[in-house]
Amino acid sequence: MTQAMLQLNDVTVTVTNGGQSLNILNHINLNVNPGDFITILGTNGAGKSTLFNVISGNLTPTAGQILLDGKDITKFSEEKRARYISRVFQDPKLGTAPRMTVGENMLLAEKRGQRRTLGLRHLRQKKPQLLKELGLFDNGLADRFDTPTGDLSGGQRQALSLMMAISAKPELLLLDEHTAALDPKTSNQLMAFTHQIISERNLTCLMITHHLDDALKYGNRLIVLNDGAIEGDYDTAAKAALSKDDMLQFFDSAIA
């Protein structure tokens, strides 16, 4: 039997509001298998970002256990988990250093989670390989190798964030609404490239999205969160049977 890449065992996050305890995550149990590409849907406040914060180490759960490839990482810091887990955020400005060039950002990403030491960068020697990586997505990034990242378009910067996140093949990739801030055309292009790169490199990925079409089209599993709990976990066959209207009815009932 294949060991789960990620396991969340009875994970709970409790906050106190007005003297009352509230579970932001409510006893989450989840197994993510190697190669899973899971899309995650939920209304605002359902616990999606809290779930990612707990997995990435940005937030410590009140109770429960988190295992990554069989190793207990519940108490690991965010910095320690960075060796195994990559995350791309909704804001294109996050995840890149604006004053560093595209090439320098890519070089920096190769050292994710590693101890930093003084030494030569070897940027010139690595430029051909970095250009090859940047050229996988045809949006002009490779032509802007020496451009400061702060001068890129939002779509280019988000594509760079994705390339940086996968450069040192993470055990787990977290995509936190990574196309939400982009215009529809750029969003569709980046989403298609995301699917391609995840498939080709056999990455294990969780992706939060508000786009119902993307949630139904991409990935082999769909998880629906509501009030901090998993409302539904649909495998490939069950997911294929869902329609956009089914999801809209769920959101209507969750909000009501």
pLDDT by residue (tens digit) across 4-15? 999 999 999 999
Q: For 46-83, how does the pLDDT look when each residue is reduced to its tens digit (9 = 90+)?
A: 999 999 999 999 999 999 999 999 999 999 999 999 99
Q: Can you give the pLDDT at residue 30? A: 97
Cα angle 202, 207, 211 (rounded to 5 degrees) comes to 125
Asked if residue 118 has pLDDT above 90, the reply is no
For 15, 149, 255, the CA distances from 153, given in Å and listed in that order, are 38, 9, 35
Average pLDDT for the chain? 90
Asked if residue 111 has pLDDT above 80, the reply is no
Q: Can you give the pLDDT at residue 116? A: 53
Q: Sketch the domain layout of the chain as residue ranges.
A: 34-58+77-255
What is the rounded end-to-end Cα distance, in angstroms, of the chain? 41
| Calpha distance 126→5 (Å, rounded) | 31
- Going by C-beta distance under 8 Å and a sequence separation of 6 or more, which residues neighbour residue 154? 92, 181, 182, 186
Give the residue-averaged pLDDT of 177-197. 93
Q: Can you give the pLDDT at residue 21? A: 87
Q: Can you give the pLDDT at residue 71? A: 95
Q: For 193-227, how does the pLDDT look when each residue is reduced to its tens digit (9 = 90+)?
A: 999 999 999 999 999 998 999 999 999 999 999 99
CB atoms within 10 A of CB 160: 24
Domain 34-58+77-255 superfamily per CATH: P-loop containing nucleotide triphosphate hydrolases (3.40.50.300)
The reported pTM is: 0.91
Q: Can you give the pLDDT at residue 252? A: 73
Q: Give the helix ranges, DSSP H, for 83-179.
A: 102-109, 123-134, 154-166
Q: How confident is the model at residue 255 (pLDDT cuts 50, 70, 90)?
A: low
Q: Can you give the pLDDT at residue 103? A: 92
> Across the strands, what pairs with 12?
63
Q: Which amino acid is at 11?
A: V
Percent of the chain at pLDDT > 90 equals 71
